[in-house]
Copies of this chain bind each other. A is one copy, B any other.
């Protein structure tokens, strides 16, 4: 294959310009495109299929943990957002407002939902009367609008898709249990299905969701060393229930306010897949969410349509029947080399090649996208071998990402070193923090690094060190990073 016919020839190297590399992959793999309005994107079929796979696998987990889906309105009257001032102030700069309906000016502006706590809270106040109505465990899949100044496909767009869980409970303990249960549901999902290792933990008060008592998050390290928030789970306490009057009669016939949580993940996860696993040849999709798990490419030599194509078709059929997502690329206008690089760009985890010589040997060639390794496999054992290889690829992508995350997580106790690491290597920095917002602000101002999480599991293990900034007694062990 001539070098110049490679589909990927124009792609920017990842090491050269990460941001341009990211945008080129999104465009060339046909994951998304820009709409004719600033900051708004179209999710093309290849990108949307990833989202469908994410939805299916996440929805199953959401239901297995006892939640049900519902659908709440897109529009929220301004007066509802205003009921909770902290919440409103958090979101007001980002709200798109509907002011006209048909030919008439509206008496009250309607917010296009930036999140749904307010509208859902107002409904829960109607639906919940007694402790018998609790817990309420509702999730919705919806589109969300936040007016953003600087946008990037999948990572930050004016409109995006997400799921948002909203639950109501009898006690504070139950709400806290739910918050943590969901956090670990997210962690398990992202690690098992997206093959992206995450650090789970608590946010600092400064980084909390507007209106939450406590925010928890999972954070991943992208391959440029910047962190990405992958999902959040909020313990809302009684903040919203007091504002929206969500009361119930408890077991002692007393009126109480419910305890609430909310939590979500979004199409941002698709951006994380690109930035975690992608390389200079394009995407590398984890098999669990890959739109196409296996591409079958017949080698088009001689009278291939008579000799090779029937075998390729039989392979496609066998793999489809094994329950795999398979694509046979029998296009005549492209060479095998062109096809290889196109499907590499799109990140198809496994390629099956079959040519005249392979047929004589009664075998096919398996080529792994993740490590570019070639293996000959007898046709008789093909389907089981393909399944096994896909599992290996899923694990291997996770292992690679985990190694990267570990290599780029550094314990630092000295502020000079802290700054040096951020300048030269980025990654996560584990440092002690006094708990004072002033230190947090100074660090952010001087280094652009923020506290991503205060890890749930590590704190107890170590004797507190001094705050990396002010040298006072450390109160929290925090993961700092520059973040998207």
Which residues on A are within 8 Å of B, measured CB to CB?
33, 35-37, 40-45, 47-49, 51-52, 68-75, 77, 80, 92-103, 109-110, 112, 119, 122-123, 126-127, 132, 138, 142-143, 145, 147, 158-159, 161, 333
- A112 close to B98 (CB less than 8 A): yes
Contact of A70 among B37, B42, B333 (CB under 8 A): B42
Given contacts A42-B73, A43-B71, A94-B102, 5 further A-B contacts (CB under 8 A): A35-B123, A49-B68, A74-B159, A96-B102, A101-B147
Chain B residues, CB < 8 A from A122:
35-36
Q: Contact: A70 with B99, CB < 8 Å? A: no
- CA A70 to CA B44, docked complex, whole Å: 5
Interchain nearest-CB distance for A368 vs B (Å): 26
Secondary structure class of chain A's binding surface, majority of residues: mixed
Q: Which of B69, B97, B112, B123 contacts A33 (CB 8 A)?
A: B123
Please name all residues of chain B whose beta carbon is closer than 8 Å to the beta carbon of A71 when the two chains form the complex: 42-43, 48, 51, 161
Contact of A96 among B51, B80, B101, B161 (CB under 8 A): B101
- For the complex formed, measure the closest distance between the CB of A60 and the CB atoms of chain B, giving whole angstroms: 12
Contact status A103-B93, CB under 8 Å: yes
Q: A423 to chain B: closest CB distance in Å? A: 33
Q: How far, in angstroms, from A161 to B95 measured CA to CA in the complex?
A: 22
Cβ–Cβ contact A75 & B110, under 8 A: no
Write out the residue numbers on chain B whose beta carbons fall within 8 Å of the beta carbon of A92.
102-103
Give the Cβ gap from A70 to chain B, nearest Cβ, in Å: 5
> Chain B contacts of A43 at CB under 8 A?
70-71
Pair B102/A95 contact, Cβ less than 8 Å: yes
Contact status B73-A40, CB under 8 Å:
yes
Contacts A49-B69, A69-B49: A42 and B98 contacting too (C-beta < 8 A)?
A: no
In the complex the two chains form, is B74's CB within 8 Å of A36's CB? Answer: no
Copy tally for this chain in the complex stands at 2
* Cβ-closest 4 pairs across A and B: A45-B68, A97-B100, A43-B71, A101-B147
Q: Note all chain B residues with C-beta closer than 8 A to A123.
A: 33, 35, 42
CB pair B100–A96 under 8 Å, yes or no, is: yes
When C-beta atoms are compared, the residue in chain B nearest to A112 turns out to be: B98
Report the nearest B residue to A132, measured CB to CB. B333
Expressed in whole angstroms, the Cα–Cα distance for A37 and B76 within the complex equals: 8
The answer for the CA separation of A143 and B145 in the assembled complex, in Å, is: 13
State whether A69 touches B52 (Cβ < 8 A): yes
Do the beta carbons of B159 and A80 come within 8 Å of each other? no
A94: B residues at CB distance < 8 A: 102
Residue of B nearest to A145 (CB): B74
- 8 Å CB contact of A45 from B36, B95, B138: B138
- Supposing A94-B102, A102-B147 touch, asked if A72 and B112 sit within 8 A by C-beta, the answer is no
**By the criterion CB–CB under 8 Å, are A100 and B99 in contact?**
yes
Q: A102 to B92: give the CA distance in the assembly, Å.
A: 6
Q: Across the interface, which residues of B come within 8 angstroms of A161, CB to CB?
A: 71
Question: A140 — nearest CB in chain B belongs to which residue?
Answer: B48
Give complex CA distance A45, B35 in Å.
33
Q: Complex Cα distance A102/B150, Å?
A: 13
- Residues of the B chain whose Cβ atoms lie less than 8 Å from the Cβ of A142: 143
Cα distance A94–B99 when bound, in Å?
13
Question: Are B143 and A75 touching (Cβ within 8 A)?
Answer: no
> Mind listing 10 A-B residue pairs with CB under 8 Å?
A45-B69, A48-B68, A49-B69, A74-B143, A92-B102, A96-B98, A96-B102, A97-B99, A112-B112, A142-B143
> What residue in chain B is nearest A45 (Cβ atoms)?
B68
In whole angstroms, what is the CA distance A72 to B42 when docked? 5
Question: How many Å from the CB of A286 to the closest CB on chain B?
Answer: 20
Check if A75 sits within 8 Å of B33, measured CB to CB.
no
A114 to chain B minimum Cβ distance, whole angstroms, is 10
A332 to B197, CA, bound (A): 45
A42 cross-chain contacts in B, Cβ below 8 A: 70-73, 123
Whether A119 touches B80, Cβ cut-off 8 Å, given contacts A74-B143, A100-B99, A143-B143, is: no
Q: Is there contact, CB below 8 Å, between A36 and B98? A: no
Q: Nearest chain B CB to A329's CB is how many angstroms away? A: 14
Q: In the assembly, what is the distance between CA of A22 and CA of B155, in Å?
A: 44
What's the nearest-Cβ distance from chain B to residue A161, in Å?
7
Closest B residue, CB atoms, query A143: B74
Determine the distance from Cα of A333 to Cα of B130 in the docked complex, in whole angstroms: 14
Residues of B within 8 A of A159 (CB): 73-75
Q: How far is the CA of A70 from the CA of B43 in the complex (A)?
A: 6
Distance between Cα atoms of A70 and B51 in the complex (Å): 10
Partner of A37, one of B41, B44, B68, B110: B110
Residues of B within 8 A of A37 (CB): 73, 75, 77, 110
